[in-house]
Structure 1
Amino acid sequence: MDTIEFIQIRKFIVKLGKMLHKYGTPAFRLEAYLTEIATYLGVHASFISTPTSLTIVIWSDKHEDEYNHAARLMPGELDMNALSLTDELASLVLKGELSLSEANDKLDEIDAMGSLYGKLPTGIAYGMATGAFAMLMGASWSEIGWSSAFGLLAYVWTLWSQRSKRINLMLEPMTAFIAGLLACAIGSYVDPGINIPLVVLSSVIVFVPGLALTMGLAELSSRNMVSGTARTMDAVMQLFKLYFGAFLGVTAGFSVFGENVYTPAESLPYWATWLSVLLLCIALVAIFRTRVKHIPWALAAAFIAYSATAWSADYMSQGLGAFVGAFALGLFANAFTRIANQPATIVAMHGLIVLVPGSKTYIGLNSFMTGQDFVQADHLGQEVFLIFMSLVAGLIFANVIMPTKKAL
């Protein structure tokens, strides 16, 4: 291998690694995938990925050429469209159908792409996701409507944060604070008796880091200690910021508008649960920027995960039911890689969203701080811990039974 070829290879690997990091790829998947790419391209490499950095060392067979690269990166956000296109491009390179110079140009084009779905559909998706979560939690129809409205407001704050660094720094607590304040005003003057804490939680559910906590624990279980610890602590701090903003907003709202007396509403019919799962999955398509051809797979993943969990709940505890759901999801996601030749993450994330207990972590924090439960929940702390462990174990068992075809 001559020096010019080595330079082309290391440029491609560095750019590929940074882009996959940007799209929210977990450390153990990113490092394994880049190692596979480096091996196929005929170089040796070592990678260390954390949520805020990426270190790359590449060398040739006899160490004639060596290259070190360390970059400080911002935590990535899930972008399934870009992840899918990037994986397809890497596959073309490995097949020899695309040169490294052409691949570098294509990577720039993918990186510059916006969302497949415009701002209006994404905003509607935010409202749909928050309303669907409220429905899943057994809220009344009016509470579902208010949660959806606050979800649209959360998207407005998200758009503003993309243009302002100051807003970006306080996005989670400020969104929760405004939602709490408005919910108190609505509870006093427009719709008395609504479950204010539940409405506030539903309105910020897109920011609750249940998925990040699960990814952090998965990284720890794979012995990625630095990345797993950093991701877990970042998720915990994000949860604290959300809760503090909501607590401050509700407290200020009660001081200004008066206390709200919660009046339990009539329970929704059983079919509303499945409708909420469907609406949540459809909303996640736009939020995760899923490619159109992968939408049926994504919807199927979510329903398989939820159905397996609901079915197993008749025979075992809810925590162990999450193990069955995660196991079924892992098998389906790994089958997806073999059939569609795409990363399992594309469909696995949709299924994990309906399983992760991020909302229960928030509810448990509220119970610990105030001594009050705004939804019926017994032994919440133990249940949340067991669900997290069950999710990680379920995915590990699935990878043992049916190994994934791709590292991503």
Structure 2
Amino acid sequence: MDGARTVRASGAGEVTPDRLTALLAELTRMLLAASGEGASELEHAVAGVAAGFGARTSMVLVPDGATLTVLVGGETRTVAVRAFPDVARLDKVAALKPWTRDVGRGRYTLAEAERTLAAIDGSPAPYPWWLKGLGIVLFSVGFAPLMQPTWYEVGSTAALALVTAALALAAGRWPRLAKVLPLVAATAVSVLVLEVFARTPAHGGAVLLMLPALFYFVPGDLLSAAATELAAGFVTTGAIRLVYAAFLLLQLYLGVMLGVYATGGDTSALFDLAAHADLPRWATFLSWVVFTVGTVLAFAVPWRLLLPLLATVYLTVGVQSAATKLVGEVGGTFVAAAFLGALATVLARRPAAPPRLLLALPGFFTLTVGSLGMRGLTSLAGGHPVRGFHDLLSMVTTVVAIAVGLLLGAVLAQRPRPLP
């Protein structure tokens, strides 16, 4: 039988084409499932593991699937792999980096590689469900001062985020809810804001009160990842991810509109006027600590990475603030994205360092642009076409600035590494 044929790779033990293909297919599935922020590193990671067993691979990639071809011992195997892209379990991403490095260097036999990969895939979540929920709340509260630096914004976001966190946790148990989660969450938040929290213009616009609690679902990171993939030449992957991000954004918009209709109001309630700032500067500064802790808990990032991620957040915010004063908002975002891309790429070179995705993700969120898309759509619906189109144009401009900046930073900092 063809599957019984074995070849020997240096230091790797006996390797059968079928078993190696199964291992690489499982690795591809796990990487796809963690590729919500982009899949540009996936092909190289799989090829590196294959090289550890004297094999070669080629791949045709889309965001939720891949066709993997493995050439080993003169035989070829081709398999199709499917997985929905997400960033829910970044602890697995952190564990896969040393695993792929060691396997690629021939330090594991095939049996050892299979066993350790299965252990990573089957590992329990690092935090209990209630800490994940707390993380979603802190993630939203930390973002709130960016919308409106007011105590009312922070307090209302904490209450609203409890609702979105409960829905997100429920979606983990009921997959049907997960398919329409942005729509359901946006509807619930919209109703609560219009009925309870946006009773007076003194507290700011309804949309500004809604957005922080919905930030966990806003696809700004997906939009930027899609643009990055397009700029890097991953046309199919980037285009599909862009369409999916737009679909999620429309779900959120429709949910907000359903909330307006359910409360018996009209779209004029969706005004976008900021309240008078009363949050002290120290609270705004510390909000990034709250945000980063929320990111760690919400996305299952290992706790030991909190301080490095916090440093990247403050460095990114600092660079963006300084550059904005010199070259404007779009230029500042571009410079900060390039800095973040280069910093994450350089730090990730160290064997003990976390993967580039984990190092860049919190800083990436600080530059996110999906909220501009939401504000633009709701401003249009609320009868403010000039403001609405301005926000949508700003979203497109900022998406490109973040994408090209991240790509430029990574290219400048990356060492050449031809595929095996």
Q: TM-score under structure 1 normalisation? A: 0.90
Partner letter of residue 413 of structure 2?
M
Contact 1:337 1:405 in 2 (8 A): no
Contact 1:210 1:357 in 2 (8 A): yes
Pairing partner for 1:222 from 209, 227, 232: 232
For residues 324-371 of structure 1, give each alpha carbon's deviation from its aligned partner in whole angstroms, at most 9, with x where no partner exists.
101111221122112334421111111100012111121122223323
CA–CA distance in structure 1, aligned partners of residues 198 and 363 of structure 2: 38
For residues 208-262 of structure 1, give each alpha carbon's deviation from its aligned partner in whole angstroms, at most 9, with x where no partner exists.
0000111111111121111111111000000000011012113322449x97998
Pairing partner for 2:250 from 240, 257, 272: 240
The 1:372/1:406 distance shift into structure 2, 3 A limit, reads: farther
Pairing partner for 1:369 from 351, 374, 381: 381
Q: Could you tell me which residue of structure 2 aligns to residue 278 of structure 1?
A: 289
Q: Could you tell me which residue of structure 2 aligns to residue 358 of structure 1?
A: 370
Q: Could you tell me which residue of structure 2 aligns to residue 335 of structure 1?
A: 346
Counterpart of 1:397 in 2: which secondary structure?
Answer: helix
The 1:403/1:139 distance shift into structure 2, 3 A limit, reads: same
Contact 1:116 1:289 in 2 (8 A): yes
Contact 2:135 2:297 in 1 (8 A): yes
CA–CA distance in structure 2, aligned partners of residues 266 and 343 of structure 1: 38
1:303 equivalenced with 2:303 (yes/no): no
Q: Could you tell me which residue of structure 1 aligns to residue 32 of structure 2?
A: 21
Q: How does 1:76-87 map to 2 (within 5 A)?
A: 76-87=86-97
CA–CA distance in structure 2, aligned partners of residues 272 and 76 of structure 1: 31
For residues 110-143 of structure 1, give each alpha carbon's deviation from its aligned partner in whole angstroms, at most 9, with x where no partner exists.
1122321222222111111212222121242123
Q: How does 1:4-403 map to 2 (within 5 A)?
A: 4-24=15-35, 26-60=38-72, 64-187=74-197, 193=203, 195-255=205-265, 264-339=275-350, 340-372=352-384, 379-403=390-414
Deviation of residue 382 (structure 1)? Answer: 3.3
| Farther-moved stretch of structure 1 (43-52 vs 207-216) | 43-52
CA–CA distance in structure 1, aligned partners of residues 124 and 99 of structure 2: 18
Structure 1 unaligned residues grouped into runs of 5+: none
Q: TM-score under structure 2 normalisation? A: 0.88
CA–CA distance in structure 2, aligned partners of residues 364 and 188 of structure 1: 19
Point out 4+ residue stretches in structure 1 off by more than 4 angstroms: 188-194, 258-263, 404-407
Partner letter of residue 211 of structure 2?
L
Partner letter of residue 139 of structure 2?
A
Counterpart of 2:327 in 1: which secondary structure?
Answer: coil
Contact 1:24 1:79 in 2 (8 A): no
The number of residue pairs the alignment matches comes to 403
The 1:292/1:130 distance shift into structure 2, 3 A limit, reads: closer
For residues 268-316 of structure 1, give each alpha carbon's deviation from its aligned partner in whole angstroms, at most 9, with x where no partner exists.
2333332222211121011221112222211111111111001101111
CA–CA distance in structure 2, aligned partners of residues 43 and 158 of structure 1: 41
Percent identity of equivalent pairs: 23
Deviation of residue 104 (structure 1)? Answer: 1.1
Deviation of residue 191 (structure 1)? Answer: 11
Partner letter of residue 197 of structure 1?
V
CA–CA distance in structure 1, aligned partners of residues 334 and 199 of structure 2: 44
CA–CA distance in structure 1, aligned partners of residues 198 and 289 of structure 2: 32
Deviation of residue 20 (structure 1)? Answer: 1.0
The 1:97/1:356 distance shift into structure 2, 3 A limit, reads: same
Deviation of residue 404 (structure 1)? Answer: 5.5
Contact 1:138 1:267 in 2 (8 A): no
The 1:406/1:330 distance shift into structure 2, 3 A limit, reads: farther
Counterpart of 1:98 in 2: which secondary structure?
Answer: coil
Contact 1:323 1:391 in 2 (8 A): yes
| Farther-moved stretch of structure 1 (259-268 vs 231-240) | 259-268
Partner letter of residue 153 of structure 1?
V
Structure 2 unaligned residues grouped into runs of 5+: 8-14
CA–CA distance in structure 2, aligned partners of residues 350 and 405 of structure 1: 26
Q: CA RMSD in A?
A: 2.8
